[in-house]
Amino acid sequence: MNNSPFAYMRPNILGLSPYSTARDEFSGGDIDTFVDANESPYPTGLNRYPDPRHKELKGRIGRLMGVEPDRIFIGGAGSDEAIDLIYRIFCVPGRDNVIAMSPTYGVYAVSAAINDIEYREVPPGPDYRFPTDEILAATDRHTKVIWICSPNNPTGLAVPPEDIERVASAFDGIVAVDEAYVDFSPYGSVIPLLAKYRNLIVLRTFSKARGMAGLRIGMAFADPDVAKVMANVKYPYNINGPTQKELLRRLDDDISTQVAEIISERDRLTICIAGYPFVEKVFHSDANFLLVRVKDADSLYGYLVEQGILVRNRNRIPHCQNTLRITIGTPAENNRIIRALDAYRDGLRPSWKREEGRRARLERITSETKIAVYLDLDGESDESHIDTGLKFFDHMLSQLPHHGGFRLDLTCQGDLGVDEHHTIEDVAITLGEALLSALGDKRGIERYGFVLPMDESRAMALIDLGGRTDFRWDVGFTREMVGDTPTEMYPHFFSSLASAMRANLHITARGENNHHLIEGVFKAVARALRMAVRREKFAYSLPSSKGIL
Ligand SMILES: *Cc1c(COP(=O)(O)O)cnc(C)c1O
């Protein structure tokens, strides 16, 4: 359709004379005394009103995205402001309707209800394909907007640009395409189609790929007449000064590596998750999440929460029975999800339960390793027993209970005939999970570090059990092997341990003798752990970082 977009607007909007801010009314000249807006003259850093027209932002965003600034609207409250404005500009309450595929992003329906607009839902095609013909068939003379979420939330599938074009050319009304996840999609944006279809509005956000959900900024790209009306209808100062500044500061951040990693992790998780016997289908995703249909979504959801993993349970929304939506995390987070799903599959759930006291008993069986761990944080370290089949590694591991002041029984039968990789990695994971489990809700523990000089070497370990996983490793080995263990396995061991026990672990060590170096590292970690898990007799509250680190 190539009608002027004014043809679809509400009469009250067409007749609007918008509020004009003090700074709107004047342009040009060299002003150094601002006494026009009743602001405080004292410089607090925030005493001046921000630019209501977002001139600098639109210029920069326009250059970044290759769009003329007069086609850009910038909204506060993320995309929600633009969604609400579309209703308020185009839809007459109590009379008009809009159409969307179901399931889709929930805000369209809620915002329709708030604005008293009828919201018509059309079921999806097979595998959640966008039902182009059915959507067009559902329109009538009061249909003002068709919502197209591409890639769609929560299903993940993108709508082919030809289909969007077909809707835009056939429909006599506004076609609003929400591209919140377009950075992850192979199709790219339909912004170039704006030049051809005056009824097209494209929504984008800084909340997803660009990593600024906390900032609450969204964008709409549209016909210049539409962008202008949106600017007239919005709250005059909808984006505050610090937010505009912060966005300008981060606008040129390069996200391409992160996006590439999310896409490759998404494809890896798709394959991993599809292999579980309790998974019925992993739907194709062009976004940064996966919709997974399982046998019993509520059960798996509850289990994952127990494991400290929160996914989105979509079981109760139409067309999504027994589905969970899982956002793609960092590789370490994704591995944690996979380990939790492994245990769910293997029925290991009861053994994950914390025993009375600060004890944990775990058994972990994979095709490569069979590991049993008993850990008692208040037990006798002398009674510990460790046997992984790797002598030197056992010697290192035994430093943990000995210097950590807890009891650790650990046996591992691994595929050492292949190599030591699986044994060392799975021991780290199981041990980390045992520590996490034994610590329970972490009452009475704190965050600690320890520096340990050992002969000519010096090792430092900092540990924080506050729940944020991070790992730093700076250890200068000069040899490839110490005893029967490759030195390259140690950073891997400690990063797996940190991730499994959800700790922030920083390790630094320097020295000439590689044996002393790694032994110093194990002892320093054990000592830091000892302090971190020590039961505080008097301060029986959840730990905080205040005054400690
Ligand atoms: C997350 C999301 C948005 C963006 O929301 P903001 O309010 O900008 O944070 C928009 N549309 C869809 C479909 C989303 O999933």
> For the segment 370-394, what is each residue's pLDDT rounded down to a tens digit?
999 999 988 888 899 999 999 999 9
- Does the beta carbon of 105 lie inside 6 Å of ligand 1? yes
> Does residue 151 have a cis peptide bond before it, meaning omega lies within 30 degrees of 0?
yes
Task: Please check the confidence at residue 356 and state whether its pLDDT lies above 70.
Answer: no
Taking the centre of ligand 1 as the mean of its atom positions, its distance from the CA of residue 219, in whole angstroms, is 11
Closest to 530 measured CA to CA, from 434, 465, 459: 465
Taking the centre of ligand 1 as the mean of its atom positions, its distance from the CA of residue 172, in whole angstroms, is 26
> Which residue's CA is the closest to the ligand 1 atom numbered 10?
180
The pLDDT-based confidence of 358 (bands split at 50, 70, 90) is confident
Res 3: pLDDT: 79
> What is the b/e burial string over 130-166, where b = at least 16 CB atoms within 10 angstroms of the residue's CB?
bbbeebbebbeeebbbbbbbbbbbbbbbbbebebbbe
Q: Rounded to an integer, what distance in angstroms lies between the CA atom of residue 58 and that of residue 64?
A: 10
The pLDDT-based confidence of 540 (bands split at 50, 70, 90) is very low
Report the largest interatomic distance among the alpha carbons of the chain, rounded to a whole angstrom: 85
At CA 25, angle to CA 23 and CA 27, rounded to 5? 80
- Does the beta carbon of 213 lie inside 6 Å of ligand 1? yes
Atom of ligand 1 nearest to the CA of 216: 9
Taking the centre of ligand 1 as the mean of its atom positions, its distance from the CA of residue 268, in whole angstroms, is 25
The pLDDT-based confidence of 438 (bands split at 50, 70, 90) is confident
Task: Please check the confidence at residue 409 and state whether its pLDDT lies above 90.
Answer: yes
Q: Rounded to an integer, what distance in angstroms lies between the CA atom of residue 226 and that of residue 67?
A: 15
The pLDDT-based confidence of 447 (bands split at 50, 70, 90) is low
Query: Alpha carbon of 544 to those of 377, 443, 447: distances in Å?
Result: 21, 11, 8
Average pLDDT over residues 428-433: 91
Taking the centre of ligand 1 as the mean of its atom positions, its distance from the CA of residue 67, in whole angstroms, is 21
Rg (CA), the chain: 29
Q: Rounded to an integer, what distance in angstroms lies between the CA atom of residue 416 and that of residue 78?
A: 53
DSSP letters along 471-527, please? EEEEE----SEETTEETTHHHHHHHHHHHHTT-EEEEEEE-S-HHHHHHHHHHHHHH
CB atoms inside a 10 Å sphere around CB 61: 22
Give the phi and the psi of residue 464 in degrees, each rounded to 5: -135, 115
> Which residue's CA is the closest to the ligand 1 atom numbered 7?
78
Res 28: pLDDT: 72
- Does the beta carbon of 104 lie inside 6 Å of ligand 1? no
At CA 461, angle to CA 455 and CA 463, rounded to 5? 160
Mean pLDDT for the chain overall:
90
Higher pLDDT, 26 or 50: 50
* Best residue for ligand 1 mutational test, from 81, 207, 216, 238 (most atoms within 8 Å of Cβ): 207
Atom of ligand 1 nearest to the CA of 213: 9
- Does the beta carbon of 149 lie inside 6 Å of ligand 1? yes
Structure-block tokens of residue 127: 């595998």
- Does the beta carbon of 75 lie inside 6 Å of ligand 1? no
The distance of Cα 500 from the centroid of its chain, to the nearest Å, equals 19
Bridge pairing between strands 385-387 and 407-414? parallel
With H, G, I as helix, E, B as strand and everything else as coil, classify residue 41: coil
- Does the beta carbon of 184 lie inside 6 Å of ligand 1? no
- Does the beta carbon of 80 lie inside 6 Å of ligand 1? yes
CB atoms inside a 10 Å sphere around CB 207: 17
- Does the beta carbon of 180 lie inside 6 Å of ligand 1? yes
